[in-house]
Structure 1
Amino acid sequence: MSRNTPYQPVLLRLLHNAIALLVFAALITGFMVYDRYDKRFGTLNLPIIRDTQGIHGTIALIFLIGLPIFALYCFHIGSRRLVQPPLSHFQEVGKPIWWVAIQRLVNTTILLSGTLAVITGRMMDEEWLPNQDFNHAGYIGHLISWVLMIFSIAMHLLMSAKVGGMPLLLSIYSWRIRAEDTPNHWFKSFKIKPSSPILLMMEVLVIGGIAIAFILPVFYSK
């Protein structure tokens, strides 16, 4: 496969890097919360930082606000990076198109994992963990969502390295800007309708899930 450095749109770089920063911050603070209260699946015995739950919750709220913006970009501008028909590409094992198809599937899985994380996170009560009350569907689902997220991120890096090598991995952090890649051009490629029924279904799941996450506290509040 070509190892020429690809160009990533500025808007994609901004949104991708902002979401990536929030995801890693949420993963780190989330593990710190787990390491303080749970520890059932192993522990690093990290130093206790005051109000780790509050810090994690604040980061998670910012992630919840940013996720629909990133998702709309992915489905309506950058949809070629998500799962695409024909699904027969998944049968061409070992061929270049197979690796690209896997990469797109992994990218889509990251959006779904993030959606599950915000839904289950909004179901949780801040008193559960300090009270050693771990057997709630919201908390169990939240743990599962972050395991899926970690796996998806690892696969995202591996597949990106396979498809485009180090140039593709580093292109998302490039400072290079084309003359035509300015804010007044960012939305010219915006498509109202998703490019395939598969993407429409995925968008319903993601955007619908995020909408549910916003209103869940109304039903789970004391």
Structure 2
Amino acid sequence: MRLLKPRPPYQPLLLRLGHGLTSFFVIAAILTAFWTYNTYDGRWGRIPLPKWNAIEGIHGTFGLFSLLIFPLFFLYAVHRGHKRLIQANSLKKLTQVGKPVWWYTLHRLTNTLTILALTFALFSGKMMDETWLPKGELDRGWYYAHLISWVVLVICISLHVLMGAKVGGTPLLMSMFHWRFRAKDSPVLWRENIRRMLGRSRISSSLVQEWSQLSFPLKVLEVIVFVSLVGAFILPLFKG
């Protein structure tokens, strides 16, 4: 009897697009972050990469694109993909060690920690000054914080991928790269959906109602992330 290969689970098109764009810019920022460290610092190890002074600006560009795209992806993840994040009973489920629910809970917690790690990396990066490294000012507190944040982020992304492979295997990982989409996800409908949403007379009350339905951990997560992202844009204005 011929066994059929498991089909990849369907992922909403907006989730794939947001996840894909965020992943691309974040990974590019991580790679250029190491090259920047390798060029200007190297106190904890260095590899034979060309010394390229322009790499810091390229890293900053990828970081900025990550900062601009991430809030939209995060908003979708919390309000439409909340089942993939921390739940109100996550701590209770962690007591069921070794059971499937334990692995699924670890997967959700890893996803949540990855979001927090990226938030801190983006915030600490905005708090840095682009002149510090060229001038050899390597003992700045925000520079150390940014270095630590990217190391933590690399660890979290690695765990995110490993946990995805554990709970869903290759089909789950590959489902984020499929181009097929269902009729309800068609980009043709996006304009009409946005027009309908903006045309609601009680859009504010709808948002309040949706916020009230979030679990307490997700409310805390959303507040932390958006306060940090707003601060990332505002606080650097007062650095000088």
Q: Aligned partners of 2:43 and 2:210: how far apart in 1? A: 46
Q: Which residue of 206, 209, 216 corresponds with 2:228? A: 209
- The answer to whether residue 26 in structure 2 is matched with residue 7 in structure 1 is no
Residue 50 of structure 1 deviates from its aligned partner by 4.4
* Aligned with 2:75 (options 72, 77, 86): 72
Residue matched to 1:147: 151
Deviations 1:47-92 (A, max 9, x none): 1234111111111111111111111111111111101121211111
- Alignment length, in residue pairs? 219
Q: Is the 8 A contact 1:64 1:118 kept in 2?
A: yes
Q: CA deviation at 1:178?
A: 1.3
The amino acid that maps onto 2:156 is: S
User: What residue is the counterpart of 2:115 in the other structure?
Assistant: 111
Answer yes or no: is 1:219 the counterpart of 2:223. no
From 37, 40, 50, the equivalent of 1:37 is: 40
| RCO higher in structure (CA 8 A, sep ≥6) | 1
**AA at the equivalent of 2:153:** M
User: What is the match of residue 199 of structure 1?
Assistant: 218
Taking the aligned partners of 1:96 and 1:3, their CA distance within structure 2 comes to 18
Unaligned runs of 5+ in 1: none
- Look up the equivalent residue of 2:139 and give its one-letter code: N
Is 1:47 aligned to 2:50, yes or no?
yes
CA contact (8 A) 2:119 2:229 kept: yes
**Contact persistence 1:37–1:130 (CA under 8 A):** yes
TM-score normalized by structure 2? 0.86
* More displaced 10-residue stretch of structure 1: 125-134 or 61-70: 125-134
Q: Which deviates more from structure 2 when the two are superposed, residues 30-39 or residues 47-56?
A: 47-56
Q: Is the 8 A contact 1:36 1:45 kept in 2?
A: no
2:166 is the alignment partner of 1:162: yes
Query: Hey, what's the Cα distance between the residues in 2 that align with 1:129 and 1:136?
Result: 10
Instruction: Give the C-alpha shift of residue 137 in structure 1.
Output: 1.5
Seq. identity, %: 44
Partner in structure 1 of residue 29 of structure 2:
26
Distance 2:60 2:237 in 1: 17
The CA deviation at 1:111 is: 1.0
Partner Cα separation in structure 1 for residue 48 and residue 129 of structure 2: 23
- Separation in structure 1 between the aligned mates of residue 117 and residue 210 of structure 2, nearest angstrom: 24
Helix, strand or coil at the partner of 2:8 = coil
Equivalent pair of 1:91/1:98 in contact (CA under 8 Å): yes
Please report the RMSD computed on the Cα atoms of aligned residues, expressed in angstroms. 1.9
Q: After TM superposition, give the deviation of residue 159 of structure 1 in Å.
A: 0.3
How far apart are residue 4 of structure 1 and its match? 4.2
Query: Do 1:90 and 1:98's aligned partners in 2 also have CA atoms closer than 8 Å?
Result: yes
The AA in structure 2 aligned to 1:203 is E
Deviation at 1:6, TM superposition (A): 0.5
Distance in 2 between residues matched to 1:199 and 1:136, nearest whole Å: 33
**SS of the counterpart of 1:176?**
coil
Equivalent residue for 2:204? none
Q: Is the contact made by 1:75 and 1:199 (CA closer than 8 Å) also made in structure 2?
A: yes
Alpha-carbon distance in 1 for matches of 2:70, 2:178: 22
- Residue 61 of structure 1 is matched in structure 2 by 64
TM-score (normalizing by structure 1): 0.93
- Aligned to 1:134, what secondary structure does the other structure show? coil
Residue 101 of structure 1 and its aligned partner are, at CA, apart by 0.5
Greater radius of gyration (CA): 2
In structure 1, what residue type is equivalent to 2:31?
I
